């Protein structure tokens, strides 16, 4: 049997809009019901329409549920009280009397009843004449009707219903289909939050970049862009799906190129050991477009986490670097020992010793003079990223300085800030290079705000010249930045 043109058109809509066939049929039935209620429906009719896509015909029904007679009697009593109150108010207005004295008490009673009703609605069911019919009323027509039974009474619309219904239902169908498409799109992309997707730059408006994802258009606000990247229309880019939010105009999709998690997802794509779970990325510190540090850890002793991420001759990490536009990536080994972890995080600088204060989560690292600029990095970037990666405040000092005295100076500065000692009592110290967890530029230790904490035991550990393996990967052909 040949398929009807109407059914073929419906299936075409389902394929184009990615909407289920049942959803389209429900939309058409709802639109036809709205058209009938608008032109021919009565007040207490619960109109439902059954649509047959094979021949394009429809049947209209008034659907009601059989309710107990007690609910119906209570409803009639309330209706009589409302009508009597309205009649009394009308007679008082005709007589020229003030209606305040007559209506004030009923209004207060009505308010009390409404408050009681709101509380009782949770406990007992109320009669709705639109969706319910009393048992004794329906038994006048159908003696076999039972309590709770659904009664479908067919309505026969006039001949003009077809033409008028088509006109009224057209806009309703378009609106409902648009809403269904938006809902489907929202669910599709909401399930992909936190993943890498490929899109095409559609256009650039001011500082906003619009990315075509296929079935939807996403926005990339300025904070989510890499500062030194220029986005050209038609250019394909991998982006990180940050969030999907509902708006009156449809789902709002926000994507990012600067999100730290994008580095994690790219490595998961390129490194099989990460996707399998044998190697984990425990921490990420990123300054998008410039440099990234990642700390990796292996769950299996026979797997080198750093080597797994670097790949043979750097092929794996180089793919990630190319995707991020040449952003430098340092890969270091994660350790639960804070001294070892901080030493690795300051790579490629070689650390002589580290003094820590666990209560303040602060550390002072001693390096040789020729390693000072390498440990600090350009504009303090290396030590700043190391502080982000480890979660510790890190100071860099030159070789030969007394770390114990420096730590005492730091504690004295903290005490002066918290009021335990006056600033005059705190010894003046040379300002070490410090990086906060927030990634702000380095500030002198004398200006650092430290909360009052009891003095804790500090630890000084000498770091051997040969530290655990760490890797720094940069663009080929570029020298190492200090």
Residues 161-187, mean pLDDT to the nearest whole number: 80
- Residue 68: predicted pLDDT: 86
pLDDT digits (tens, 9 = 90+) for 32-66: 888 888 878 788 888 898 988 888 888 889 898 88
Please check the confidence at residue 198 and state whether its pLDDT lies above 90: yes
- Residue 36: predicted pLDDT: 85
- Residue 259: predicted pLDDT: 95
Cβ-proximal residues to 288 (8 Å cutoff; 6+ apart), any chain = 226, 227, 257, 258, 324, 327
Residues 430-448, mean pLDDT to the nearest whole number: 41
Distance CA 169, CA 56 (A): 14
**pLDDT bracket for residue 161 (50, 70, 90):** confident
- Residue 457: predicted pLDDT: 44
Please check the confidence at residue 414 and state whether its pLDDT lies above 70: no
**HEC per residue, the chain:** CCCCHHHHHHHHHHHHHCCCHHHHHHHHHHHHHHHHHHHCCCCCCCEEEEECCCCCCEEEEEEEEEECHHHHHHHHHHHHHHHHHHHHHHHHHHCCCCCHHHHHHHHHHHHHHHHHHHHHCCCCCCCCCCCEEEHHHHCCCCCCCCCCCEEEEEECCCCCHHHHHHHHHHHHHHHHHHHHHHHHHHHHHHCCCCCEEEEEEEEEECCEEEEECCCCEEEECHHHCCCCCCCCCCCEEEEEEEEEEEECCEEEEEEECCCHHHHHHHHHHHCHHHHHCCEEEEEEEEECCCEEEEEEEECCCCCCHHHHHHCHHHHHHHHHHHHCCCCEEEEEECCCCHHHHHHHHCCCCCEEEEEEECCCCEEEEEECHHHHHHHHCHHHHHHHHHHHHHCCEEEEEECCCCHHHHHHHHHHHHHHHHCCCCCCCCCCCCCCEEECCCCCCCCCHHHCCCCCCCCCCCEEEECCCCCCCEEEECCCCCCCCC
Q: What are the structural domains, with CATH classification, of the chain?
A: 5-66+154-185 (3.30.1480.10), 69-146 (no CATH), 192-258 (2.40.50.140), 338-468 (3.30.300.20)
- Residue 92: predicted pLDDT: 81
- Residue 418: predicted pLDDT: 62
Rounded to 10 deg, the angle between the 369-376 and 381-390 helix axes is: 70
Please check the confidence at residue 18 and state whether its pLDDT lies above 90: no
pLDDT digits (tens, 9 = 90+) for 138-153: 888 888 888 888 888 8
CA nearest to 211, candidates 223, 190, 197: 197
- Residue 437: predicted pLDDT: 42
Residues 13-25, mean pLDDT to the nearest whole number: 83
Please check the confidence at residue 216 and state whether its pLDDT lies above 60: yes
Instruction: Confirm if 134 and 44 have CB atoms less than 8 A apart.
Output: no
Residues 455-465, mean pLDDT to the nearest whole number: 47
Please check the confidence at residue 170 and state whether its pLDDT lies above 90: no
Low-confidence winner among 101-110, 165-174, 242-251 (lowest mean pLDDT): 101-110
- Residue 410: predicted pLDDT: 67
| pTM exceeding the 0.95 threshold for the entire prediction | no
- Residue 189: predicted pLDDT: 92
pLDDT digits (tens, 9 = 90+) for 252-298: 999 999 999 999 999 999 999 999 999 999 999 999 989 999 999 99
Express as a percent the part of the chain with pLDDT over 70: 77
């Amino acid at each position: 049997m040949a398929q009807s043109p109407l059914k073929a058109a419906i299936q075409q809509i389902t394929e184009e809009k990615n909407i289920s066939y049942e959803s389209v049929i429900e939309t058409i039935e709802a639109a036809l019901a709205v058209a009938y209620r608008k032109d021919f429906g009565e007040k207490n009719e619960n109109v439902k329409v059954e649509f047959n896509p094979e021949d394009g015909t429809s049947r209209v029904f008034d659907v009601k549920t059989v309710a107990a007679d007690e609910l119906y009697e209570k409803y009639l009593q309330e209706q009589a009280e409302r009508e009597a109150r309205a009649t009394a108010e009308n007679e008082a207005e005709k007589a020229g009397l003030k209606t305040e004295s007559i209506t004030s008490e009923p209004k207060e009673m009505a308010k009390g009843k409404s408050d009681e009703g709101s509380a009782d609605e949770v406990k007992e069911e109320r009669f709705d004449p639109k969706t319910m019919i009393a048992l004794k009323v329906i038994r006048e027509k159908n003696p076999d009707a039972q309590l709770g039974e659904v009664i479908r009474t067919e309505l026969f619309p006039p001949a003009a219903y077809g033409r008028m219904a088509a006109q009224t239902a057209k806009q309703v169908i378009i609106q409902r289909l648009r809403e269904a498409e938006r809902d489907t799109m929202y669910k599709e992309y909401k399930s992909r939050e936190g993943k890498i997707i490929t899109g095409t730059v559609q256009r650039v408006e001011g500082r906003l970049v619009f990315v075509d994802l296929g079935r939807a258009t996403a926005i990339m606000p300025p904070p989510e862009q890499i500062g030194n990247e220029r986005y050209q229309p038609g250019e394909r880019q991998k982006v990180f799906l940050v969030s999907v939010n509902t708006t009156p105009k449809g789902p709002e999709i926000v994507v990012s190129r600067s999100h730290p998690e994008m580095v994690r997802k790219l490595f998961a794509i390129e490194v099989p050991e990460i996707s399998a779970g044998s190697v984990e990325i425990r921490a990420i510190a990123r300054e998008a477009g410039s440099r990234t540090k990642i700390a990796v850890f292996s769950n299996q002793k026979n797997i080198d986490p750093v080597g797994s991420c670097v790949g043979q001759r750097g092929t794996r990490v180089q793919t990630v670097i190319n995707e991020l536009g040449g952003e430098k990536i340092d890969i270091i080994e994660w350790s639960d020992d804070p001294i070892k972890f901080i030493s690795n995080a300051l790579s490629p600088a070689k650390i002589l010793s580290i003094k820590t204060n666990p209560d303040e989560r602060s550390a002072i690292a001693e390096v040789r003079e020729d390693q000072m600029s390498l440990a600090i990095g350009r504009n303090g970037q290396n030590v700043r990223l190391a502080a982000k990666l480890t979660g510790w405040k890190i100071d860099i000092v030159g070789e030969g300085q007394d770390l114990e005295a420096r730590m005492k100076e730091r504690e004295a500065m903290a005490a002066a800030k918290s009021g335990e000692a006056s600033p005059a009592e705190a010894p003046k110290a040379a300002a070490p290079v410090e990086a906060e967890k927030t990634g702000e530029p380095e500030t002198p230790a004398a200006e650092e705000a430290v909360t009052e904490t009891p003095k804790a035991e500090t630890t000084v550990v000498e770091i051997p010249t040969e530290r655990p393996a760490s890797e720094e990967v940069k663009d080929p052909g570029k020298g190492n930045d200090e």
